[in-house]
Structure 1
């Protein structure tokens, strides 16, 4: 049993390293020295008699047999998580650790508050929120749930994807830019706009906007600052660097208090779907299921407020 236990530990260490994309990243995520993870992977390779990783001074690549071994390790881990979830659920009360991946701006605007209220309701639950930039990325093992914005419906047979809400975006600027922007701009008026770009979109300088009379137009704007962080885009807009597309929920108070104003109100910015992803319902704990319910309730309430 000791040998089997060591094999399992080394296998999980290998999966963690592949998930994180490196020994240092895995060490930081799990609080384990990278040197210990390296020894575990080396011991696993020695035990199996194969090379799972090809290491260089800067990075590593996963071999073909390493990829198959990783998939087996993920399967074993999912079965163990499922067994633990079933045991936890038998108590009838949400409990345990819940790890959530969430875009930083969404965590600040809504999900963090929902998590705090959820933990007050269910004191046996511990929640860890890891911030992301909102881009799609492989689902990593330490996370139970991933909250993912997307311009297109998500289709991945390996994951369950539930749509939580539509994020409504508005085109805003600081009041100081008012003199540079026409009251009712046409499609050709947009290129003169100084703009703040969001790298979530394929090209931050090309905006897709829809007008009730002019129809759909691809607008080219003069991007002076761009970032993958919506919180920084909001700060840049507040500082008057340019026009920005922002979720209404993120800038509603700024609009109400006059720090930002909606420009070109007849032009509709794209709606971005907000999804929650998880590997399978079988491996999702009662805490995870209840938290998804809380997310749906919170986002539905926010959508009603936006109307």
Structure 2
């Protein structure tokens, strides 16, 4: 057996978490896989795995080897797919990171459809609102919203996104809605994030403004729910608040200062540009959102 095949056994073992699960996935015996990985460790002269009766985990060197081996196997699979023709169905694992609210509201219903359409593909999704290091943390693709920082990542447009300021009709009872940005100082603002300052983006001459309020959260759905309950004004993308706006639970304010539409992007490392799996996934997202969303930009 070649070292490349031993790499596949090692990656499958860590992906599944055990020799037994890897054996079931690959149609081999767990004794065979264990023996091959012992031989791989002997060939490399390092210990890759810590084995106990109850757990199996990678050593630090094993984790580094796993990340490099996974990249190599992806490149080999992509090369094989390119050589055997574009009509071949994509296969492999796609590791994705996306913002929490966008993932729960919009990727959640789409990913089962994607997996049903491409049965040789597996997906690992992590939802997080932090800025993930794709290369350092081993992700294949990230969904990002708004302006992109300068980087070496490839960006593909998926869908438009519009920010609006909104609050509940109950919040406005007995008080005037803000008509200028300066009047926001007299209102309760619902703040996204936990930094020392929160800035809201606007259109026109004043492109941003620092706002304050008593309630902060790092999740847009929590802020939407707080706004519906009358706690204040929130700035939110329409993909979170559109149903509440349509039902009348929320109303928009300061529409004259609404910023220009932004964009939802799929970003991935440059060395993955030839990946059939990534291209198929991005095109699937573009197609799905074009059918579901009205293009505002």
- TM-score by structure 1 length? 0.67
Judged with a 3 Å threshold, the aligned counterparts in structure 2 of structure 1 residues 4 and 194 are, in CA distance, closer, same or farther, namely same
Where does the alignment leave 5 or more consecutive residues of structure 2 unmatched? 22-33, 50-57
How is 1:1-307 mapped onto 2 (pairs within 5 angstroms)?
1=1, 5-6=5-6, 9-10=9-10, 12=11, 30-32=15-17, 48=44, 72-73=68-69, 75-83=71-79, 85-86=81-82, 90=85, 92=87, 94-96=89-91, 99=94, 100-118=96-114, 122=117, 124=119, 126=121, 128=123, 130-139=125-134, 144-156=140-152, 159-179=153-173, 182-199=176-193, 203=195, 205-212=197-204, 215-227=206-218, 229-269=219-259, 271-279=261-269, 280-285=272-277, 288-301=278-291, 304=294, 306=296
- Decide whether the 8 Å contact of 2:169 with 2:250 is kept in 1: yes
C-alpha displacement at 1:236, in angstroms?
2.3
SS at match of 1:266: helix
Give how far 1:237 is off: 2.1
Deviates more, 1:188-197 or 1:245-254: 188-197
Q: List alignment gaps of at least 5 residues for structure 1.
A: 17-26, 54-59
* TM-score (structure 2 length as normaliser): 0.69
Q: Secondary structure at 1:73's aligned position in 2? A: helix
Displacement after TM superposition at 1:126 (Å): 4.9
- After TM superposition, give the deviation of residue 269 of structure 1 in Å: 4.5
Distance in 1, matches of 2:42 and 2:120, equals: 39
Q: Aligned equivalents of 1:193 and 1:4: distance in 2?
A: 62
Displaced runs of 4 or more, over 6 A:
39-46, 50-53, 60-63
Distance 1:41 1:150 in 2: 45
Per-residue deviation, 1:169: 0.9
CA 1:215–1:138: 2 relative to 1, 3 Å = closer
Partners of 1:109 and 1:139 lie apart in 2 by: 22
SS of the equivalent of 1:222 reads coil
**What is the aligned residue count?**
272
Give the distance between the partners of 1:83 and 1:118, measured in 2 at CA. 22
Q: Structure 1 residues 78, 115: closer, same or farther in 2, change over 3 A?
A: closer
Rounded to whole Å, the distance in 2 between the matches of 1:33 and 1:240 is: 50
Output one character per residue of 1:240-297: Cα deviation in whole Å (capped at 9) or x when no partner: 2332111112211211111111122122257543221234132333xx4233123223
For 1:167-209, what per-residue CA distance to the aligned partner results, in whole angstroms no more than 9, with x for missing partners? 211111122211476334323322332222222xx84752233
Q: State the secondary structure of the residue aligned to 2:274.
A: helix
How much does 1:143 deviate?
5.1
Q: How many angstroms apart in 1 are the aligned matches of 2:238 and 2:248?
A: 14
